[in-house]
Amino acid sequence: MARKPARAHDDSRDHLAPARLHTPRRARTELEFEEATILGALFGQFDANLVQIENRLGVYISARGNRAQIEGPEDAVARARDVLKGMHQRLMQGQELDAGAIESLISMSAEPTLEGIISGDGETPPIMIRTRKKTIVPRSATQIEYMRALASRDVIFALGPAGTGKTYVAVAQAVSQLITGSVQRLILSRPAVEAGERLGFLPGDMKDKVDPYLRPLYDALYDCMPPEQVERRLASGEIEIAPIAFMRGRTLAESFIILDEAQNTTPAQMKMFLTRFGQNSRMVICGDPNQVDIPGGPQMSGLNDAVGRLEGIEGIAVTRFTSADVVRHPIVGRIVEAYEGKHG
């Protein structure tokens, strides 16, 4: 059964539109895909992926065999074409294609270089991070900027809400550099500050006490490396996961260093951490300036203090994510927007 266009055009109302209003030019284009084995994943069950694009961009997509015809406003048709090409490219690279990935490609389709970013333009390589278990490609326009900074800058501040990939992408880049040997150690840290609750006494040794705070870092590691490799490198010291207090007095050379939840550091802690930087190292500081859990609030956050002092210094990059960059389930972005609006 043929599907109806996502946004039907009512010709009977055309005479009511003022003559001065610009009517978007209509366009039609067709794509042909040679790899028949991936068409099911590309179009989705009952063409669900195509419906998602239709609803977001206001086009109509007709799929027949290995061809997809797109009709609608000229700009929207161009964006839908780029999204389908990006989806096809992801599948050909063995990447997952879910509703979140498609939503990210739709958001990125506003960027004029989407096709070059995903597949390379013949002169520059595509932007991606390769790890043992997967290849990560940017899922938002800001992630493109972020991944470029991770590959070229010494110190990178990543600011923004949860779900934007700040820590995950940084861990992936760190794992990639550890695998290739460009760094000798991977150091992951965060302040042991409770998020608005008191957990009380935690039993066990020091590792048992701090592990609950560091679990998101472990999760990202296991997603990028086989478990046995993670365990072996943890045992050998190639990967170290520790609270920020353990960084005092050290010089971290030949290392990729990540500080997560950095908004919960004090200015003194942040200064101490940043000055651990050693030769041939890279440092990434991730945090959400709007989620400060330390006493005193945002004005006492070492993250906000550091960005104010250091932004613009050579070798330091600051990437700011917004709710539009959330790459979890689309509803997470809407939740973030609602809270930002409520408390803004």
Residue range 171-180, pLDDT digits in tens = 999 999 999 9
Q: Which of 135, 134, 116, 136 is nearest to 126 (CA)?
A: 116
Residue 139 structural domain:
129-343
* Per-residue model confidence (pLDDT) at position 5: 44
As a whole-number percent, the residues of the chain with pLDDT over 90 amount to 37
Give me Rg for the CA atoms of the chain: 23
DSSP reduced 3-state for 62:
strand
The last residue of a domain, from among 53, 85, 119: 119
Whether 185 and 211 map to the same domain: the answer is: yes
Alpha helices in the chain (DSSP H): 39-43, 48-57, 74-92, 99-108, 114-119, 141-152, 166-180, 206-224, 227-236, 267-274, 302-310, 330-343
Structure tokens at 281: 């190292």
Asked if 79 contacts 73 with a C-beta cutoff of 8 angstroms, the reply is: no
Rounded Cα distance, 168 and 251, in Å: 25
pLDDT of 203 strictly over 70: no
Whether 133 and 115 map to the same domain: the answer is: no
Range from 153-157, 187-191, 301-305 carrying the lowest mean pLDDT: 187-191
Whether 35 and 100 map to the same domain: the answer is: yes
Instruction: Note whether residue 257 is domain-resident.
Output: yes
Instruction: Note whether residue 336 is domain-resident.
Output: yes
Structure tokens at 31: 């794509």
DSSP reduced 3-state for 189:
strand
pLDDT of 7 strictly over 60: no
CA 242 to chain centre: 24
Q: What is the largest CA-CA distance in the chain?
A: 77
* Per-residue model confidence (pLDDT) at position 236: 94
Whether 231 and 317 map to the same domain: the answer is: yes
Asked if 339 contacts 329 with a C-beta cutoff of 8 angstroms, the reply is: no
Instruction: Note whether residue 3 is domain-resident.
Output: no
Q: Which of 166, 171, 119, 177 is nearest to 140 (CA)?
A: 166
Q: What CATH number is associated with residue 57?
A: 3.30.1370.10
Structure tokens at 122: 């013949």
pLDDT of 49 strictly over 70: yes
The last residue of a domain, from among 119, 151, 178: 119
Instruction: Note whether residue 15 is domain-resident.
Output: no
> Could you give the number of structural domains in the chain?
2
* Per-residue model confidence (pLDDT) at position 208: 63
* Per-residue model confidence (pLDDT) at position 9: 42
Instruction: Note whether residue 141 is domain-resident.
Output: yes
Whether the CA torsion 327, 329, 330, 332 is positive or negative: it is negative
The last residue of a domain, from among 88, 119, 150: 119
Instruction: Note whether residue 63 is domain-resident.
Output: yes
Whether 311 and 197 map to the same domain: the answer is: yes
Whether 172 and 32 map to the same domain: the answer is: no
Q: What is the DSSP letter of 58?
A: T
Structure tokens at 332: 């997470």
N-term to C-term CA, the chain: 47
pLDDT band at 328 (very low <50, low <70, confident <90, very high): low
pLDDT of 103 strictly over 50: yes
Whether 136 and 91 map to the same domain: the answer is: no
Mean pLDDT of the chain: 80
pLDDT of 13 strictly over 60: no
What pTM, to 2 d.p., does this model score? 0.66
Whether 90 and 214 map to the same domain: the answer is: no
pLDDT of 157 strictly over 50: yes
The CA–CA distances, whole Å, from 133 to 9, 94, 191, 221 equal 46, 11, 28, 10
pLDDT of 114 strictly over 70: no
Beta-carbon count within 10 A of 219 CB: 12
* Per-residue model confidence (pLDDT) at position 342: 52
Whether 167 and 302 map to the same domain: the answer is: yes
pLDDT of 216 strictly over 70: yes
Whether 146 and 84 map to the same domain: the answer is: no
Whether 299 and 155 map to the same domain: the answer is: yes
Q: What are phi and psi of 259, to 5 degrees?
A: -110, 115
Instruction: Note whether residue 56 is domain-resident.
Output: yes
Mean pLDDT over 284-293 rounds to: 92
Mean pLDDT over 20-37 rounds to: 78
Decide: residue 330, CB within 10 A, 0-12 exposed, 13-18 middle, 19+ buried.
middle
Q: What CATH number is associated with residue 255?
A: 3.40.50.300
Whether 103 and 178 map to the same domain: the answer is: no
DSSP string, 81-129: HHHHHHHHHHHHTT----HHHHHHHHHHTTSTTHHHHHH--SSS----E
Instruction: Note whether residue 8 is domain-resident.
Output: no
